[in-house]
Chains A and B, each alone.
Chain A
């Protein structure tokens, strides 16, 4: 069991992280397509436990967690830092998920919807990725967290700036470190394992928190299932009596999957550029005479020529606006200006 830090990660920790990587002599390099394929399969094949640190470079803040994964679907995240989140835990056994918040002694439980994503089409996704980005395996073998890794850079074709750098474990394909860059090539965040073990004991009982529900003082909250119903791409335009908007493309993004959620009242369209997912949520308006209400602290803004709202959560940006009989929400981890451009396209 790794030692748990008692204070939030600081500059020393970040320096340690940066110091973990070291270049080794050149070795034979796999091609990017092979590495991509292997990284997609890593979680299905390998069980591991490691300490992972996410650093948000703009604010210098960091979140440290222990990730436990038992192949193929059991997963658990234990928060170590910052102090305000220490003790939080998210566990998933493939069919159910628990989130425990020790501050409020609250256990949130929900049944997971079946995976509606067509992730099986890896070759198609890889083509999409290559259409928007250039992948390159750097001609140097390296180590990260005491393991041999290949460093893959993913560069945007549009402006030739770096979008991602991935340190992929040579033996398993697991991504041990990743750097996400903003448009313009500025480093936004780093997600990195400081240590990882593929031999840690991972008993099944770790991946369920149902025992906590019986503890005195713990409040269990059952979340209503979203009731997600996959919609084939060909049938998207027929939803809401034909009123749904279903552009097949938004700039470099392509519609990759769709589902009806929230008792069939929300249509969730997922657009991908091969690397980043953008969601377009469509809901039928029930009050056409007045604007749809949003959480009160969303900021008013303009979406093209329409009035709308903008909000941010973590690295996500969300835009919401009324468009005739529909209310649309577009969100993704992309710059607000880029998201606005996509919103205007979605509204055409």
Chain B
């Protein structure tokens, strides 16, 4: 292989998706070409980093039992809880109820073609989250700013839809500049 392999080929080589002849060709080229070796190294590094971004695994075997326990502890279990309703059956029941609720509620809650969700400037509604993002983006560009913290503020804003003090405390981003003791 005299020409450099494309990025797709390098990626496929890394994944083992090339056939034997192509794999040999790319390997031979890599042996002789420091530029492509460097590119491959960058790919591998990026992949390693992306691997760390995987979502947490699905709920473990204790998940439903724990959820069931919480239902009881928090006093939310139905009063008519009958013998024979095991955690597994409760889970199935809850899932079915959620599906029914979703089927009924979703069409009502989802905006139709004429019902756009309110934006920062839609009609007479102010979406403060959108303004927080705009402010944080500007603040990050100021001299002596903390660009990373501002980026974190902007990225986290959707986790704080309530935008009130209680929500802030729960998630551990206290209003540290607040004058309260």
- A-side interface residues toward B, CB under 8 Å? 36, 39-40, 43, 52, 54, 56-59, 61, 63, 65, 67, 75, 77-78, 82, 84, 87-90, 92, 99-100, 102-103, 105, 113, 115, 117, 119, 122, 125-126, 129, 164, 166, 175, 178, 180, 182-184, 188-189, 191, 201, 203-206, 209, 211-212, 217, 224, 226, 257, 261-263, 265-266, 268, 270, 272, 274-275, 277, 279, 281, 283, 285-287, 290, 292-295, 297-299, 311-318, 320, 327, 329, 331-338
Contact = CB atoms under 8 A, between A and B. Distances in A.
Contact of A279 (B131, B155, B177): B131
Interface in B46-89: 46, 49-50, 52-56
A182 B144 contact: no
Contact of A320 (B128, B137, B169, B178): B128
Contacts of A262: 119-121, 130
A316 B135 contact: yes
A119 B142 contact: yes
Contacts of A180: 176-177
B147 A212 contact: no
A53 to B, nearest CB: 11
A287 B43 contact: no
B135 A206 contact: no
A265 B128 contact: no
Nearest to B132: A313
Interface in B135-181: 135-139, 141-149, 151-153, 155-157, 160-165, 167-169, 171-179
B152 A65 contact: yes
A189 B46 contact: no
Contact of A335 (B141, B144, B145, B178): B178
Contacts of A275: 144
Contact of A298 (B128, B144, B149, B169): B128
Contact of B176 (A77, A113, A261, A315): A315
A290 B125 CA distance: 11
B178 A67 contact: no
Contacts of B146: 178, 191
Contact of A59 (B46, B132, B174): B174
Given A56-B173, A125-B143, 16 more contacts: A39-B144, A56-B172, A102-B54, A113-B137, A119-B143, A175-B144, A182-B178, A211-B46, A262-B119, A268-B138, A279-B134, A279-B138, A293-B126, A311-B163, A313-B132, A329-B131
B167 to A, nearest CB: 8
Contacts of B130: 262
25 contacts: A56-B174, A78-B52, A87-B54, A90-B151, A115-B141, A119-B143, A129-B144, A183-B177, A184-B179, A188-B177, A201-B41, A201-B45, A203-B41, A203-B46, A274-B143, A277-B135, A290-B124, A311-B164, A312-B168, A312-B175, A312-B178, A313-B163, A316-B136, A331-B132, A335-B178
Interface residues of B, number: 64
B134 A58 contact: no
Contacts of A224: 119
Contacts of A67: 148
Contacts, number: 242
B123 interface: yes
B163 A298 contact: yes
A99 B137 CA distance: 14
B42 interface: yes
Contacts of B125: 292-294
A313 B157 contact: yes
B168 to A, nearest CB: 5
A92 B141 CA distance: 14
Given A203-B41, A279-B135, A315-B177, A298 B164 contact: yes
B143 A36 contact: yes
Given A262-B120, A299-B164, A314-B168, A122 B143 contact: yes
Contact of A88 (B42, B138, B155, B175): B155
A137 to B, nearest CB: 14
A315 B175 contact: yes
B15 to A, nearest CB: 12
Nearest to B135: A279
A317 B177 contact: yes
B120 A266 contact: yes
A286 B144 contact: no
A285 B42 CA distance: 51
Nearest to A298: B163
A205 B163 contact: no
Nearest to B166: A297
A194 B61 CA distance: 37
